[in-house]
Each structure stands twice: as structure tokens, then as C-alpha cells.
Structure 1
């Protein structure tokens, strides 16, 4: 196959993964909607007393939704590989390639966590986030395969960027869980959870899971920052130059370090910790979107 054929194959695989993720989204939405069962008990006047949940009715749909998520991951993984083959390099040379790989890492982090924790309730949010990322990538960020700029032709590209992508995927999953915590916390502050939300884990479980994800991946993000500094010395003759990309990567590191420090030493839990986690995640997203697209400096490789 020619490089052009591989590029077309990559596009078709990514389009196919989007179609499968759309099916996963509808399956998760169906599961959530139809798990709410009409109450059987009534007052003498016929008013409804309570609503209950019956997920046994939607168990098959839930399994189908998870299967769609796995299939979408496989197709997207193949699409990323095909993109790399078409370019004759690792597929992380511009904003489009980083976005499709980032969506892959985000979904992969969800599926990996799903093996240990009951996170199928997150499938709805994950499928939406992946679809939005891929949709933006193919409509706004897409660029044809092209050789790397000289500064990126290094083994450190694989080491540094792969660590950053994996870290970003896990960070975003932790932020999604933190956002779910804040939403459910505000719901419970007004009274009982809504019927559809009763299937979600307790606030304590969400708080602990978000913390564990950040604690697990923070050393990898630290390594990514250090590897980037070593690569900068090889490419530009200096370890650190306060380039916007470097600065915001360091700000993200400080923010997540503050989150972990606040939990371990100060004992922050619950709402304060969730807000701090979201703040740290926002610095990562700012670096990913704003600095890549509109920023200036040596790290402007978006291709836009």
C-alpha cells in the first residue's frame, strides 16, 4: 500500500470509530433512561410515592454499550497506527494527530479503569467527549500527512509525547469524575438524588477514585516534563526557556502537585479537592488548546 492509501485508510477507520462511539452513546443513554422504573406503590389518591431503579432490565444494553466502546477504541487505535504508517513516523506531529491520540488515551483510561471499578455510568460522558474531540479534529484540525519539522526528529518525541498523552487521558478522566462529584454533591445538598443518579457511586467513592487516578499518573506527568526539558537541551541547547508550552506544563504540574499535597497533608476532601482537581485539569486543557492554536514560541506545531 502507498502512503496515500494508508492515509485514506486512517481516515476511514477514524470515521468508523466515530460511528461506533455514536452507537455507544445511544446505548448508554438508553440504559440510563430505561433503568428508571415507574413506582408500584401509590397513595389512595393515586399519587406516586417513589421511583425505583431496575438495571436488570438494561444489563444487556449496558454490555452492548461497553462492547461498542471497546470496538470504537480498537478502530481508533488502528486509525492512529495507519496515520503513522502513512506519514512514516509516529503520529504526533501536529494538533490533529495529538487530538486523535488524546481521544484514544482518554477512552483507553476509561476502559482500563472499568476493569476494576464499576464506571459504566461514565460511558455516556466519555463517549460524548471522545466524539467532540474527534469531530473537532477531523473538521477543524485536520492536516494531510507530512514530514516532521527538524526539531521533532528525535527519539525524545516518542518518549516525551507518549508520556504526555497518557497522562492527559488519565487526568481528564479524573476531572470528569471530579465534575460528577460536584454535580451530585449539589444535587444532594438540595435533597435526595434524582432517580437516574441513584445508580452512581457515593460521593466518597468518587472522591477517592479521582484522587487515585491523579496519584497514579502524576509521576508519569513529572517524567514527561523532565523528558521535555532534556529534549529541549538536545534540540535548542537549553533545558528551560519559559516558552509558553513549557510554562503551562509546569503550571499543570504545580496545580496537580498542590492537589495531592492538599489531600495528603492538609486533609482536603470532597468539594474543595474536586474544585482544585478541575482547576488543575483546566490548566492542561488551556495548554492543549490555547497555547497550541494561538500561542507563540518554539512549541507551535499545531499545523494551523
Structure 2
């Protein structure tokens, strides 16, 4: 496959711009395609390191240049500006996370007008991806993932929960909480809190909620950003044995918590695929006019104490 992909028939657009320090590429290629990868993730979100690793590996494997860009604070207006800047450089393809459909609709319409192929990934739905004119979407159906998690919790006897939403401005995060509520057979309301991303703030808000609602049976966090401080809150409140704990995504700390029983399971959306596959598909498209006709569901997969040993050593790098 690698040999096949390296037989490039496309020419590099002369003078293609790079984005400097924020690019994952260490040097410009004299010949090859150039893609721009724009995520909504703030610099503080370590979960995206797996995707960055995949982007770097794919760029090396296929001899292409990939510029990774993101708004440092997670500001979506800043993300939209980054996308417009990327479009102005006429890349061979654009990869974008759908953090907010309305914010990105205008910039991506410009990409479509210029004939720049777009693949969406991670956040957003397949329907939103199609409406934005993307070739396909690579990600996890968020409501379905939350639903499956809620059904697991319900089978364990859970009837109520707290959803710690550290990125509430992203509609996909709300879908996770809504799916979990649906799986339990309850309505989503005040049990979803806007924790924001500061670890101290997350810990404080979780502790305050648990003091006000001491009969909380389960907690759902939406990634390491909220899971790590929530673990500390439960430890300080001596509630580890009282609360059923589920989280989205993996990290070394989450893996350890699954092994020792502090977290019951993690929902893995396989982010490495979300970083690697868009570059694969855009490279095939640029060189041979090939593109899959269907979206790709990268998750959900459920990681428990029974299978954590298979993925623990890969957490933060490939899982």
C-alpha cells in the first residue's frame, strides 16, 4: 500500500505557503501534496496528541505536507479565521472538525467554491458533514456512543447521573450527555454542568454538585480534561466506591483508573484513525481520483478492566 501511494502523479503547487511554528511538518517537500488540518482543540487539550501523532505519521508515510492548525484557546471564531486563511493558500485538501456548524458553514462554502476537497472529522454529524459539502466524515456518532454508555450504566442499576461537560459550546458534547440520559431512560436537564476546562474549576464544580446531590449514582465525563479533575474530586470526597464512573476517551491516568476500579469504562473513538485516515483519503484523491463513498465510524469501542491491558501501553500515543 505504501509503495502504491508513493507513485504520485500530482504536481506540487509552486510556492505553497506553510503556517510556521504551528505546523507539524518539519520541512517543505520539493514535490508532493499539501493539506491543512484544522481542529477546534485548544492547546491545553492533551487528548488531541494522539491525532497529532497520526497526522505526523501519515505525512511521513505518504510524503505529503500537512499543516496542523488550531485556535490556541478553542475560540470558534478564531477557528473560522484559520480555515479562511488556509483556503486562501489553495491546499490540495482540507480536514476540519465540525465544532459548530453555523460558524463553519460560511468558510467551508468558500472551500467548495474553490474546488478544495474537504473531509470532516471528530466533532459533528454525518448529516452536517454532507450539508457542508464534505467528501465524507470520519468520527464517532456521539449520541449513539452516549446511548450505548447509558445502557451499560442502566444494566448496572444506575438511575441518575452527572454529566461533566468541559466543552459545552460544542454541540457534539451535548449529544454525548443526551445519549447517556436516553440510555438511562431519563431526561437531560440540570445534571449536565458546564465545567469549562480549567482543572481546578472542574474539580470545584463537581464537588459542589455532589455536595448538593449526594445521591448521585453515576458520573459521565467527556474526556481527560474533565475526567482527571473529577477523579480528584471523588478522591477528596471519598466517593470512589459510591459512584459509577464512565468517561469518553483515554489517557494514561484514565487507563490506570480503569485497572484499579475507579473508572468503570472508557468510550474509545479511536482518534488515531481520525488523524490518519483523512490524509490517506485526500492523498488517494489527489493522486488517483479515489475517495470512499461512505462515511467512517471510528467508534465507539468500550474499554473495561477486562481489555485494558491490550490498549494501556498505547494510551496517549495510538489510543
For the criterion TM > 0.5, the same-fold answer is no
Higher relative strand content = 2
Higher relative helix content = 1
Q: TM-score range by the shorter chain?
A: under 0.3
Greater CA radius of gyration, 1 or 2?
1
When normalised by structure 1's length, the TM-score is 0.27
